[in-house]
Structure 1
């Protein structure tokens, strides 16, 4: 259905405008029903309550549904779920007015043509009483189980104490700020350095707010599997302290699927076929026996009940008190959990871990691209199709051809359009409508069907983006090896993120590297009234020995300075033996320096990150740091990559980190669009597009080193720009004083190194 919420509301208002003077619209209804001694309350707002007139003998409940499908493609009697909704309104009306009969009408309106189809049924009070009784009987076991669980949960929360012996430095302040944010119903932007214990410091006060009735549920969102695991561990620890609370972890469909290939069609997947027939029993079993619903738990129950594990986990999320998952389950309009109604959102808190990662992820979520080749393929595959798919695809392909002709040769392959083509929304709407009609027909050609589905989702989302188009977006026609593409890019996700979070009770954005705090508050959709908190490091200054080698690692200077860099890294591992991670801005640079360091033949084992590492390879890389052999290691890794954040190597597992360069994102036309947009908005475009994101990777990489009060280590920064603004101002206080090593000045030995002492190397 291509109709947006705004379009659907407009169509509702259009139909309601034709009601008579005695008719009522948007009527709130409420009634109660008892079952086995329990009282159930139903309430809702019906679209229309129509008075008797010459055309109808009795009061009529009107339920309006907008659709982009052809009206003759809908079921002859309408959809059962629509009738069920309308019957509930009808029953509530009869209870309120003590009447014996009512008419119930489904009104379908086609979004493009405005055509209307109405289906009317009359129902007696006895018929609707029987319908409600059956509905309540089916729902009652679940409702009673939920009611018992909430009582147990709230009682356990009231007895729950902080699950550690005491608060670390900064933890009490962070927990208090989070709790106050929930009370005030606003956003909090918190910079909490490594060692603060951010996971438990945000979860514990949020759980307490649920027990006090301030909240009903929470979302804990992150971009990394490791931080999801930390949240699971926090709930496990609180459960050991007596907490009775349901949490579910959401995992990507591709990872959960039991099939060799993801194919969700009922005829291809036994777990999809009959899913809803088996769902209720599966949910009652899961919720009746489990509290921490991790991936492994979800998979076990899904196999037992033969249901799709991914869809099963989503259903469990709606029943859980806490949901742990990726950012996209809340922020991405294409895959978000949409069935949280307004009242639930107003009682829900959102905790966004490692929030610095959300900036670029949000830009991706609110961007899309359209492929000329896919429309051309669909034009050929569906030529003459009765639904008009081929014709609609042909029109979009023709638009691409016309666009290409307007691009000067010197502007290729990346041409920024002044605006999206005027004809694009209508052409996309026609294509989506035709595709939706085609989906109602069986297609034996799986490849063609999959191509249509991919183009449908891309086109539908592009249509929705165009509805909110303004200066925050850019349209780019790009020629690549894969063909010609129209890219609709989000340059500034702040307003979109703000619109997502404003419906929730509270949102907490937190990270060790939310620096500068004002930048992140602005880009993540905050406002001046939102709370802010910046905590100092909980660690002592003497735990870290920070040094700077001030020579250039700029691309143009690397040939000149690479020999010196390799020599200095070799000097570091010889002078201060231990376990190191060396972070580079690119694989090419990494491999170049690695080959040169190897020539020195240092007494160190090298581990190397490479592009496309499998999960097993990543685990093997980190496992070398976890052993207790005392083997000197030097891991060569990518700044901002999988080893650059959210890993914990405490004690002697990691004794040194070197960060080479200031982490600037690769120069390119897309980043330049962000830079130019920010400059036009009155900001420092280079800092917003390049310096701030780059330094965040530097701070994350350096933050791998000191994780506990017992850790000691060496941090080596390599780049002369660290002496210049804004880079120097962004360095954290715990990295000061920064010892600058001039040319020829040796790296001083660290005789007090715990690694050296323990291994008898002094």
Structure 2
């Protein structure tokens, strides 16, 4: 007997999807509602603890209907026994005065409660059951309740009406899964042969997903990381090991590479739905991103049309790239960003930035609110996640905006002004603590500021909701969101955090700084079942597995480069010191090294430096001594057009070779794919150590206490990662040939050599420019 297709749904998703209508309206709505709503639930549940009130009751119901097995689940806020009547309670918090709430205020609230009541009544064989909505007014803490007593038959009829409306979507899903899985089973690897290390990579990814594990993979340039992770993950989908893939990356260009990989597999017969998420500001059709019906025609009536748009798009397309999303959004006059988020529900792979999974402020709550989904996370360029995670899990508050807004609201809104005055007074106290050396540090969280921030949030909300466009609204809204982020971050504060105050540039800030993101990342990974962290530069791999929350039972593999080691010359000029105290006397020696490399073979080169200042100083020395060489220099703030122009100068077999001067860790040291003769050499000045600063020193001190590797975790490993990324810009294919010159005496130290990838052995130390020139003449003479 053929098994019926299964449709898994939460009560909330079913109700909100079927019953949604009307406008997108983001005119100020309290963004503390989720936090306050949770507290409202807890307060009501606590107050009724000894009154026959059972809180947070999990409900699951499986029903065979119209050829499908529906698995519906959710959680009732409370079950009450009152006067021999069993009542299902649904709690909703609100800022609206309770007198404005009528019984039929919100259809979806009733629908959610009725679905819970239906499941409970069927499972417990109850003929009559109460369905109650409890509204909690956040400011006054007053409660208003509406109660209906319904029969099991009435609830059953209501439930199946919802399911009937969902049947077209259930059919769409089940038909697609059959078509998708058949295509996956027939899919062969989309290239004729596996490259060296590629099969091992693919097998390791499949094994990791099938066992619901985590793996850290260092896979050098040339192996084909994207296809080697996607292909086995797709195979795992058809085998039932995972239901959805999230391909996470920090860069737009990488997302484009992923789209190309899917296109390649599509040519081989793959049927797979993917969506690429683009930031709201970039996707918005309007000149100003204001999401309400008065300002945006696409927000007006969006929810009346969006399901029709979804059906149209899902029936016609498999790859929801930005142009496809924009096309259907215009066709159906809906918001492209909200449309793209809806498409994630129906896609087999979501291609997006890290923050959609990890950032507690913006992660996709439709998937991750309750943790534990059947998802696989493919985390590309995972070395970038360390600093990104620290940023996601940290928060800061500046004094100057508080004082400025206090002055704006002093005579307008006394309540807001008073809350700002108290916040400002606290910041003055903190500023004084940091007066001695511009910094103040404490291990404990600053609990004294929390009630002051919460008071400011509470005072601001009503005015923000009613005074859009008024003087001070935009600035207050920005501070409001900053304050919310601060309070949300405070919930994570533990021994991995530190609080510091910094006085600089005429302002003071207080920061909740996440020193070690490993725990919060490991918790975020639990939102799925498996995770694959991969990069060309996860060295040392034990460091990355620890700092990214891998845990003791994760897998780790380091793969060799597929490229012929004889195609590259790796040289170390270790008689030059680039330490800060020696930099001034190094300019001419470095310029001479760069010129020597440039002279041995005509072509395109890039020299990388640890800072703009160092780069500019050597650039000036080089230009003065070698004016005939065509040079270009990275500037501090380059727009997209300037970046494109910079890279366009690196042409293969150009009449004039170009010598670029760039910074390590910058836009041209990572994610730049210059193949063949577009780039034939890189010169890397220094070991890439981050600039010594207060935050880096705090991280150093924390890890010194934790594992005695403070300098390594804070400075050496992040610095060497930038060196490895820059070196990876040269030799991008099997036929490329090129030079990597490392300029710094520390590159010969054992502590740095042990961080070299295996393909960097053997290498050659060079003592002077003459020796460097002779070695390169021999290298290029063999080409």
Do they fold alike, i.e. is TM over 0.5?
yes
Q: Unaligned regions of 5+ residues in structure 2, if any?
A: 1-32
CA contact (8 A) 1:664 1:695 kept: yes
Distance 2:603 2:331 in 1: 49
Q: Per-residue deviation at 1:179?
A: 0.8
Q: Deviations over 1:255-277 (max 9, x none)?
A: 21222232223322222233222
* 1:480 and 2:504 matched: yes
* 1:42 and 2:68 matched: no
Name the residue aligned to 1:534: 558
* 1:572 and 2:597 matched: yes
Q: Per-residue deviation at 1:738?
A: 1.9
Name the residue aligned to 1:14: 46
Name the residue aligned to 1:28: 59
Name the residue aligned to 2:20: none
Name the residue aligned to 1:135: 162
Aligned to 1:596, what secondary structure does the other structure show?
A: helix
Identify which of 616, 626, 644 aligns with 1:619.
644
Matches within 5 A, 1:515-594: 515-550=539-574, 551-594=576-619
Pick closer, same or farther for the CA change 1:556–1:265 going to 2, 3 Å. Answer: farther
Aligned to 1:219, what secondary structure does the other structure show?
A: strand
Q: Deviations over 1:62-95 (max 9, x none)?
A: 123456x476487444543322210111233444
Pick closer, same or farther for the CA change 1:71–1:673 going to 2, 3 Å. Answer: farther
CA contact (8 A) 2:59 2:120 kept: no
Identify which of 477, 483, 499 aligns with 1:459.
483
Distance 2:604 2:710 in 1: 38
Task: Out of 258-267 and 558-567, give the one that drifted further.
Answer: 258-267
Identify which of 678, 684, 689 aligns with 2:709.
684
CA contact (8 A) 1:605 1:631 kept: yes
Distance 1:741 1:444 in 2: 66
CA contact (8 A) 2:457 2:483 kept: yes
* 1:298 and 2:325 matched: yes
Matches within 5 A, 1:214-229: 214-229=241-256
Name the residue aligned to 1:200: 227
Aligned to 1:730, what secondary structure does the other structure show?
A: coil
CA contact (8 A) 1:62 1:106 kept: yes
Name the residue aligned to 2:660: 635
Name the residue aligned to 1:748: 774
Q: Per-residue deviation at 1:361?
A: 0.7
Name the residue aligned to 2:764: 739
Distance 1:399 1:162 in 2: 62
Q: Per-residue deviation at 1:436?
A: 3.5
Q: Unaligned regions of 5+ residues in structure 1, if any?
A: none
Q: Per-residue deviation at 1:751?
A: 5.2
CA contact (8 A) 1:577 1:632 kept: yes
Q: TM-score, normalised by structure 1?
A: 0.92
Task: Out of 259-268 and 645-654, give the one that drifted further.
Answer: 259-268
Q: Per-residue deviation at 1:496?
A: 0.9
Distance 1:726 1:351 in 2: 31
Pick closer, same or farther for the CA change 1:386–1:70 going to 2, 3 Å. Answer: farther
Q: Per-residue deviation at 1:151?
A: 1.5
Distance 1:131 1:385 in 2: 50
Q: Per-residue deviation at 1:178?
A: 0.8
Name the residue aligned to 1:310: 337
Matches within 5 A, 1:599-614: 599-601=624-626, 604-614=629-639
Distance 1:502 1:160 in 2: 30
Aligned to 1:646, what secondary structure does the other structure show?
A: coil
Q: Give RMSD over aligned pairs.
A: 2.7
Name the residue aligned to 1:354: 381
CA contact (8 A) 1:104 1:123 kept: yes
Identify which of 516, 538, 543 aligns with 1:514.
538
Pick closer, same or farther for the CA change 1:744–1:709 going to 2, 3 Å. Answer: closer
Q: Per-residue deviation at 1:417?
A: 3.6
Name the residue aligned to 1:160: 187
Pick closer, same or farther for the CA change 1:680–1:9 going to 2, 3 Å. Answer: farther
Distance 1:238 1:260 in 2: 37
Task: Out of 430-439 and 326-335, give the one that drifted further.
Answer: 430-439
Aligned to 1:410, what secondary structure does the other structure show?
A: coil
* 1:88 and 2:108 matched: no
* 1:495 and 2:519 matched: yes
Distance 1:393 1:143 in 2: 52
Distance 2:458 2:740 in 1: 58
CA contact (8 A) 2:371 2:526 kept: no
* 1:183 and 2:213 matched: no
Q: Per-residue deviation at 1:575?
A: 1.7
Q: Per-residue deviation at 1:209?
A: 0.6
Aligned to 2:500, what secondary structure does the other structure show?
A: strand
Pick closer, same or farther for the CA change 1:71–1:724 going to 2, 3 Å. Answer: farther
Q: Per-residue deviation at 1:341?
A: 5.0
Distance 2:553 2:775 in 1: 49
Distance 1:341 1:358 in 2: 19
CA contact (8 A) 2:36 2:138 kept: no
Q: Per-residue deviation at 1:227?
A: 1.2
Distance 1:151 1:19 in 2: 50
